[in-house]
Every structure is written in C-alpha cells, then in structure tokens.
Amino acid sequence: MTVREDRIRRHDGSAGIYGVIDKPDYALVIPLDGDRLMLVEQFRYPLGKRRWEFPQGTAPDREHLDTATLAARELREETGLQAATMTKIGSLDCAAGMSSQRGHVFLATDLTEGEPEREPEEQDMRTDWFTRAEFERLVRTGEITDAQSIAAYGLLLLRG
C-alpha cells in the first residue's frame, strides 16, 4: 500500500491536492453450495472487532496474478475449499473517492472441502456456512457490515 498526495487542477482551474491510497486489486469469492454460503470471521484491527465476510484478499507479492487465479488461491487459503466452477460475476470499486483499489467478485460452486492454508495473520480466522436467509438477517441486524461482502451479495442477487 502506498499513500500519496497529487497536486491537481480542478475543473474551475483552481489548484488543489488529492490524497490517494494505492493498493493492489483484490478478489472476493462467494462460496455457494445449494442455498448455503460460506463466510469467514476474523479480527479486523482497524475496527477492533471480529467480522463475518466472504473470503477475499490481495496478492501484493504477486500482483501479476490474474483475478481468477487470485480468487481460487484466496478461497483455498482461507476456507480450504476448492471450486470446480469459478465464475466472475462483477467488479467493485472499493473506495473510489480515495483509493485506486478494485475488487473482482467470483461465484465458486461445485465445491470440494479441504484444509485451509492460512497466512500468519489469518490464524484466528473461523469459517461457517449460512443460508441466504441467515445472511440477509445478519445484514439487516448489523452483524454483517463488510461493504464488499454486502455489495458482492447484491451482484449475486442480480444474476437471478
């Protein structure tokens, strides 16, 4: 991650400064088995809280990975699942007003279970299956607040 300030010229010709956070693109995976969705729960340091969300992440040391490969890696790493079918269902701009980072959302189906291969900072991660109704209830009650997960679920719903 890098943080920079760019000197800009506004539409009216006045000078300004724009702060930008540059981060590599990330992949977010919705593991779907029938009516069940697998989520991961982990401690999110900036919030000081544990949060449920879909598996997601970047590969800053391997930025050249195509997003489908990154998605499969994140799924296996965080959940132990492998998907016979991985379908890209959309993209998300994480925080377009301050960051160049983009997310790529994949639907993972035809799943096979295995052991997670978590990174050191993911050692406290937990996984669980939730029905779509349970997921929606947790969003409504504020127990799931991850913006990318909620937006990704919206992309899933729009697929029909």
> Which residues are marked as active site?
122
Q: Give how far Cα 95 sits from Cα of 57, 98, 135, 138, Å.
A: 15, 6, 23, 23
Strands 36-44 and 49-53: antiparallel
Task: Provide the 8-state DSSP code for 97.
Answer: T
Name the helix (H) or strand (E) containing 142: none
Q: Give how far Cα 130 sits from Cα of 19, 34, 58, 89, 160, Å.
A: 38, 11, 24, 20, 19
